[in-house]
Chain A
Amino acid sequence: MNAELSLRLPPETASVSTLLDALESFADAHDIPMATMARLNILADELAANVAMHARGATHFEATTRYADGTLTFSIADDGAPFDPLAQASPDTDAPMEDRDIGGLGIHLVREMATSCAYHHDGSRNILTLTLAARAE
């Protein structure tokens, strides 16, 4: 099995819905387990939302999903100012409700749920790539 989906979208919130709808169809078409699809969509939501809301000067982003040998590889590239979201500090997930601040939680989910994730800048674009092993449970 070797499948690929690539989308080029404007950096806005509506694009996040477009991307998630496309990923759900992609998962259905290629029999990707529901649990894996859910993880992929959560992480895609976080990364696309990050670009849509925070990428300074970005004119578009490109999301590419590959499924091969039971592993999903998802990458998102944007042409905004260089920024490494993985360099942010993790939130304190043990804090009581009154003290909980939501900042950084999205990237925390990416770090914890992805099998691997990495950032690089290719000279013109921020590129964040993550992998997820397909799991049924």
Chain B
Amino acid sequence: MQITKSTQAGMHVAVMDGRLDTATAPVAEGELMAMLATPGLVLDMTAVRYVSSAGLRLLLKMAKDAKGKGAKFALAGLQPAVREVFEISGFDKIIPAFPTVADAAA
């Protein structure tokens, strides 16, 4: 998993590339949690091929942490396999996801 930092409309953006799974989620956690600050963080997941439950665990932790900090937290560019996992797990109802980073940062 590679993570590149950028900004969009004042929001922090983490561009992610790879897979968010059992082995990579714990490694990505430190870097992503450190980026979670006001006004908010968008994860660009266009290049994330899939997310397993270990990745969902991290995303849930981030969503809860963002709420505690009063920061916005959103996802962008979910691939079909990621969307499917979100729908099955009910995460589509608890973490906002948008087609593009611009939409998510708006």
Chain A positions near chain B (C-beta within 8 angstroms): 13-14, 16-17, 20, 34-35, 38-39, 41-42, 45-46, 48-49, 52, 91, 93-98, 100, 102, 105-106, 108-109, 112-113, 137
User: In the complex, what residue of chain B is closest to A96 when comparing beta carbons?
Assistant: B94
Q: Are B88 and A46 in contact (CB under 8 A)?
A: no
Q: Are A35 and B23 in contact (CB under 8 A)?
A: no
Q: Are A108 and B89 in contact (CB under 8 A)?
A: yes
Complex CA gap A73/B105 in Å reads 41
Instruction: Determine how close the nearest CB of chain B comes to the CB of A112; give it in whole angstroms.
Output: 5
Complex CA gap A39/B52 in Å reads 10
Q: Are A100 and B23 in contact (CB under 8 A)?
A: no
Instruction: Determine how close the nearest CB of chain A comes to the CB of B7; give it in whole angstroms.
Output: 26
Complex CA gap A105/B80 in Å reads 19
Q: Which of A91, A100, A108, A113 contacts B94 (CB 8 A)?
A: A100
Q: Are B54 and A49 in contact (CB under 8 A)?
A: yes
Q: How many residues of B contact A (CB 8 A)?
A: 28
Instruction: Determine how close the nearest CB of chain B comes to the CB of A91; give it in whole angstroms.
Output: 8
Q: Which of A14, A45, A93, A137 contacts B21 (CB 8 A)?
A: A45
Contacts A16-B21, A46-B52, A106-B53 known; A38 to B79 CB distance under 8 Å? yes
Chain A binding surface, main DSSP class? helix
Which residues of B in the span 32-53 have a Cβ within 8 Å of any Cβ on A?
A: 49-53
Contacts A17-B23, A48-B22, A102-B53 known; A42 to B63 CB distance under 8 Å? no
Q: Are A41 and B19 in contact (CB under 8 A)?
A: yes
A sample of 5 inter-chain contacts (CB < 8 A) reads A20-B19, A39-B50, A105-B57, A109-B85, A113-B85
Q: Which of A16, A35, A48 contacts B80 (CB 8 A)?
A: A35
Q: Are B22 and A45 in contact (CB under 8 A)?
A: yes
Complex CA gap A93/B22 in Å reads 21
Which residues of B in the span 80-103 have a Cβ within 8 Å of any Cβ on A?
A: 80-81, 84-85, 88-90, 93-95
Contacts A93-B88, A109-B89 known; A52 to B22 CB distance under 8 Å? yes
